Amino acid sequence: MTETPVYRRLAGDLRALIERGEFAPGFMLPSEPKIAERFGVRRGPVRQALALLAREGVIEVLPGQGRRVVPAERREGNAPKKAYRVVMDGIRARLAAGEFGPSDRLPSEADLIEEFGMSRNTVRRAYQELAYEGVVVVLHGRGAYPAEQWPLDEE
């Protein structure tokens, strides 16, 4: 019988801390040396454990900043859901619920920044993607509106 590799045990321990809320969604994880010290392991297994958790979508790597716990609602299968997709899904859900008529203006970027706690660039990307998909029409300086064909008919 083979023993579980150190990095897999460490990944399980870190996952448990995340699930218990010690490392809450949005929390920046301690540095590799601090994790190594806390768990009494070398940095190599720490690096492998963090890479495994990133592949599973439990944490995300922010270049130059560290690693952050991904909120459960931002997880897509085994990868973190991109922030702009969270905003897109929120807008789509509101459109599908009939919250906006064909000529109603959609929430402003500022309103969505406040609602989702995302950056202006993230909100802007969400609207750009929805416009590209034909879900909304963005009129420069006037806002975003539902596209006339919303909801798209299923064929």
CA distance 126 to 109: 10
User: Which stretches in the chain have pLDDT values below 50?
Assistant: 150-155
* Tokens representing residue 74 in the block: 């931002």
pLDDT score for 154 = 45
Write down the pLDDT at residue 7. Answer: 92
Residue 67 three-state SS: strand
Backbone phi, psi, residue 104, to 5°? -75, 140
The separation between CA 128 and the C-alpha centre of its own chain, rounded to angstroms, equals 18
Tell me the whole-structure pTM to 2 decimals.
0.51
Helix residue spans in the chain (DSSP H):
6-20, 32-39, 43-56, 83-96, 109-116, 120-132
- The amino acid that residue 96 corresponds to is A
